[in-house]
Chains A and B, each alone.
Chain A
Amino acid sequence: MSSTILEIIRTKGDETESVGRAAYEHPLVVRWCHWINAVSLFVLVGSGLQIFRAFPSFGAKIPQNDLLHWPKAFAIGGWLGGALQWHLTFMWIYLASGLVYVAYQIFSGNYGQVLFTHRDIPGVWPMVKHYFFRGGKPPATEPYNALQKHAYTTVIALGVLSVLTGLAIWKPVQFSWLAWLMGGFHWARLWHFLVMWAMLAFVFGHLIMVVLHGWNNFVSMLTGWKKDPEY
């Protein structure tokens, strides 16, 4: 895996000086998929919570014990039918962006940038010390450190699970084996719900890190180029 690095130089008369570097971190396909996925995840979570409002429980219908009352203001679709329209429309966009992303990562070889493998294990503890116990920052050698790779690999797995659990509750008869793997329709619905919260936990951490890592890092997901990378 190697990525393109630019040296940015300023010329004044005969003199030139290096004023920074830039690394091409995110190919266009990845940027497209990232933002399409971000929008569709937002819509799917919002409409999913509106769908959940129709039966906010994982127990019996009679007697019904509600788990939580999610406010309508933080949901999308306005009513069950409307929310289902949003959900059944954006699930295709979500699926398509996910499939294109995974296929691109595999066939381009770009997956090495985000895939957590056994080689990343030694880098885990130093990063944990740095993030949570005020340890020194280990030197960066590539775009993502071990914990970032772990997070991105996990969220891709969660994405796959969100599709599979969703399929199991949308088509519990045609994909009865899938529903069976999850403990039946009833449990698949709970798994789908839990996978959503796990993804939201990722998004929460992701957004915090985006803020902490600053503007150049954020811009890289728009232009592909990260100015003055640490490596």
Chain B
Amino acid sequence: MEPEPRKSVASEDGTETPAANEAAGERADSSSLALKGREVVRSVDPAKFSQISRRELLKVAPVLGLGIFAVPKVQQALLKKGLGFSDWASARLFRRGHHALTFADADLTPVDQFPINDYDVDDPGVNLENWTLTVSGALQKPGEYRLEQVQALPKFRQNTRHVCVEGWDVIGRFGGARFSDFLNMIGADTSASYITLACADDYYESLDMATALHPQTLLCYEMYDRPLTREHGAPLRLSVPTKIGYKQAKYLTALTVTNVLSGRVGYWEDQGYSSFYGL
């Protein structure tokens, strides 16, 4: 390969510096093969180069701003914002008509291997004889509803994946009434934002209206074609295949249709877990 022609090199102030040309030229001659189209564009003195380097270093300094996450006072607020943004994005990603996968009976996790997760006790001692669901809020027919009234609604069965926030997942068989049918029966104002749920073990939850109206969201009174056992939430629990496990409250006792959560989103949510956690 031909040596590169010597380039005229301008110094910082724009004047030609023959000596610099010389130096650059020598370089170009000796390593023209290696330079591969690179050329010395200008020459600077060491002080100038230090100045350039310092300026460039300063331009990277704003990255240190991430260090704000190490400040205890603002850390919690920032992480709450990050979690809030994730929840906001999750709600945007939720599609009303999109169904969660359903599975063949052969894919079911055996019922004795379906984990029982409680925050407190496996059996909060619900009186199944006199159980009612207390319904209130933005709806036309508030009052006490018996299990038979839920069971009188069309029954749906689904083999769906239950995903726990801890990371494990099982495929269970759930049966019950569509939450949307029940909301329709009680004359709920479906333009309201949330449904809050109370449980016999003091657990509490809330569900956004879009998810409550999803066709796979069930007021579940059967698992594996048998009435709910006490440890799985008898007599009534939620089955929401589009939500994480902790959203699927057990031992339901009361339900309110509302526009405000007044700081009470759910038992785990209020300790710092995601409020929306749609799958």
Asked whether B59 is an interface residue with its Cβ less than 8 Å from the other chain, the reply is: yes
Which residues of chain A have C-beta atoms less than 8 A from B34's C-beta? Answer: 139-141, 231
Whether the Cβ atoms of A88 and B44 lie closer than 8 Å is no
Whether the Cβ atoms of A5 and B53 lie closer than 8 Å is no
Asked whether B120 is an interface residue with its Cβ less than 8 Å from the other chain, the reply is: no
Asked whether B278 is an interface residue with its Cβ less than 8 Å from the other chain, the reply is: yes
Binding-face segment, A21-29, A99-107, A149-157, A198-206: A21-29
Q: A81-B273, A222-B60 are in contact. Are A173 and B90 (CB under 8 A)?
A: no
Asked whether A92 is an interface residue with its Cβ less than 8 Å from the other chain, the reply is: yes
Whether the Cβ atoms of B93 and A171 lie closer than 8 Å is yes
Q: A172-B161, A173-B241, A174-B98 are in contact. Are A189 and B167 (CB under 8 A)?
A: yes
Selected from A54, A140, A223, the residue in CB contact (under 8 A) with B53 is: A223
Which residues of chain B have C-beta atoms less than 8 A from A89's C-beta? Answer: 78-79, 81-83, 85-86
A39 to B278, CA, bound (A): 28
Whether the Cβ atoms of B242 and A6 lie closer than 8 Å is no
Whether the Cβ atoms of A80 and B165 lie closer than 8 Å is yes
A39 to B82, CA, bound (A): 16
Q: Which residue of A lies closest to B272 (CB)?
A: A81
Interface 1/0 per residue, B34-70 and A, CB below 8 Å: 1111111111111001001110110110110010010
Whether the Cβ atoms of B23 and A88 lie closer than 8 Å is no
B272 shortest CB reach to chain A, Å: 4
Whether the Cβ atoms of B82 and A35 lie closer than 8 Å is no
Which residues of chain B have C-beta atoms less than 8 A from A32's C-beta? Answer: 60, 62-63
A61 to B82, CA, bound (A): 30
Asked whether A142 is an interface residue with its Cβ less than 8 Å from the other chain, the reply is: yes
Q: A2-B38, A18-B27, A173-B279 are in contact. Are A85 and B95 (CB under 8 A)?
A: no
Whether the Cβ atoms of A7 and B56 lie closer than 8 Å is no
Interface 1/0 per residue, A111-141 and B, CB below 8 Å: 0000000000000000000000000000111
Interface 1/0 per residue, A29-64 and B, CB below 8 Å: 001100110010001000000011011010011101
A18 to B26, CA, bound (A): 10
Which residues of chain A have C-beta atoms less than 8 A from B24's C-beta? Answer: 7, 18
Asked whether A90 is an interface residue with its Cβ less than 8 Å from the other chain, the reply is: yes
Selected from A8, A39, A57, the residue in CB contact (under 8 A) with B46 is: A8
Whether the Cβ atoms of A9 and B45 lie closer than 8 Å is yes
Selected from B27, B36, B166, the residue in CB contact (under 8 A) with A54 is: B166
A89 to B78, CA, bound (A): 8
Which residues of chain B have C-beta atoms less than 8 A from A22's C-beta? Answer: 49
| The 10 A-B residue pairs with the shortest CB-CB distance in the complex, in nearest-first order | A89-B82, A18-B23, A55-B167, A16-B19, A61-B168, A7-B43, A54-B166, A85-B79, A88-B86, A81-B272
